[in-house]
Amino acid sequence: AQSVTQLGSHVSVSEGALVLLRCNYSSSVPPYLFWYVQYPNQGLQLLLKYTTGATLVKGINGFEAEFKKSETSFHLTKPSAHMSDAAEYFCAGTAGFSGGYQKVTFGTGTKLQVIP
């Protein structure tokens, strides 16, 4: 079964500092992994996804994540935090197609606070 663990329900960084949000997965099969962001009063927006191929995935708004199979991790990073990055971030994964669709498992979310 697929499970996703996010380390840290709240993370605070200074504006301009590195953003690092941690995610580990467990899966008996190679996973497909995602990071979503939710801004206040908005829906879940896909930041980036890993399916196959290159393990370093670049997403929107300057975010990227690296799939590390040996560490079962998919941490999200951004070199320099901006005030507009303040939001809640969700790591998610799926073992792939099961019955012809993807059933996604989410982590519990990490709220990112950016301090001016």
Binding site for other proteins (CB under 8 A): 4, 32, 34, 36, 41-46, 49, 51, 90, 92, 99-109
Closest contact distance (angstroms) between CB of 80 and other proteins is 27
| Smallest gap from residue 66 Cβ to other proteins (A) | 19
Tell me how far, at minimum, the Cβ of 108 lies from other proteins, in Å.
5
Residue 41: other Cβ atoms inside 10 A = 5
How crowded is residue 19: how many other Cβ atoms within 10 Å of its Cβ? 19
Do the bridges between strand 19-26 and strand 73-78 make them parallel or antiparallel, or are there none, so unpaired? antiparallel
- Nearest C-alpha neighbor of 37 from the set 86, 97, 81: 86
Select 13 or 91, whichever has its Cβ closest to other proteins: 91
